[in-house]
Amino acid sequence: MIATSIKLNSATFDYYILRINSNSSLQEIQSKLTTLREFDKTSRHLVIECDSQLDLTSFRQQIQQIDQLAAQYDLVINFILANQFTRGGIIAGKPVIDLPSTLKPQVILNQTLLIDEPVRSGIMVKNDGDVIVTSLVSHNAEIIATGNIHIYGDCRGRVIAGNGGNKKAKIFIGRFNAELISIAGVYRVIEDKLPDSLHNKAVQIFLDDKERLNIMPLAI
């Protein structure tokens, strides 16, 4: 999946690009949509991009199936991106649009990396996509992701989300004791004792409209 924004007809909205090919299964697509909804419960716009050659009949059927599946997640397919595999026109009721180069999206979220064991001191985890850690992150360990970062356990290391400039990336931590947090290059070193409302608590971290880091208690 790719997260980006586009301005069309003077209306700005966020959308997610779902890349598919001849080997994409509905189970795989459903898994991607489930992951999307785990960290973004409000966005509704979905765009399809095909990165391999498909015959028109199969592609049309695939779009119809994805459209039905997306509706279960309150998502709407707005259009299909035109490229060397898909040209202009309408496919399965969805317009095929060739975006100007200035509006071409940059890859922000490719795939989710799931880590089911502790990330020990001195270890660096880096992923072009989301990272989910179901255990703890030790002091002097580092988690870097172009997308969002979810840490379900205690976090005492460095957490760097939105690596590469994704300002919409977020950080979710089950027990907040991190030594450094960063989103899209905006960082904060945690040197002083945190307030009781945040220390050792579940938090979410994000950039506000003025690109300032916000740390908020997370209701669980």
28 DSSP assignment: H
Give the pLDDT confidence score for residue 10 in this predicted structure.
41
Phi/psi region, residue 29 (left: phi>0; alpha: psi -120 to 50; beta: rest), is alpha
CATH code at 2-103: 3.30.70
The answer to whether residue 38 scores a pLDDT higher than 80 is: no
Domain range list for the chain? 2-103, 111-217
The answer to whether residue 11 scores a pLDDT higher than 70 is: no
CA distance 161 to 138: 17
- What's the rounded mean pLDDT across residues 104-116? 62
The answer to whether residue 59 scores a pLDDT higher than 70 is: yes
Q: Is the dihedral of CA 47, 60, 34, 20 positive or negative?
A: negative
Phi, psi angles (nearest 5°) of residue 186: -90, 120
pLDDT band, residue 114 (cuts 50/70/90): confident
Phi/psi region, residue 116 (left: phi>0; alpha: psi -120 to 50; beta: rest), is alpha
- What's the rounded mean pLDDT across residues 166-178? 93
Lowest mean pLDDT among 9-23, 137-151, 205-219: 9-23
pLDDT band, residue 1 (cuts 50/70/90): low
CATH code at 111-217: 2.160.20.70
Higher-confidence residue: 136 or 10? 136
Give the pLDDT confidence score for residue 214 in this predicted structure.
92
Lowest mean pLDDT among 9-18, 112-121, 204-213: 9-18
Asked if residues 80 and 49 have their Cβ atoms less than 8 Å apart, the reply is yes
Give the pLDDT confidence score for residue 116 in this predicted structure.
87
Instruction: Kindly state the percentage of the chain with pLDDT values over 70.
Output: 84
The answer to whether residue 157 scores a pLDDT higher than 80 is: yes
Give the pLDDT confidence score for residue 12 in this predicted structure.
52
Give the pLDDT confidence score for residue 106 in this predicted structure.
42
The answer to whether residue 109 scores a pLDDT higher than 70 is: no
Same CATH fold assignment for domains 2-103 and 111-217: no
Give the pLDDT confidence score for residue 69 in this predicted structure.
94
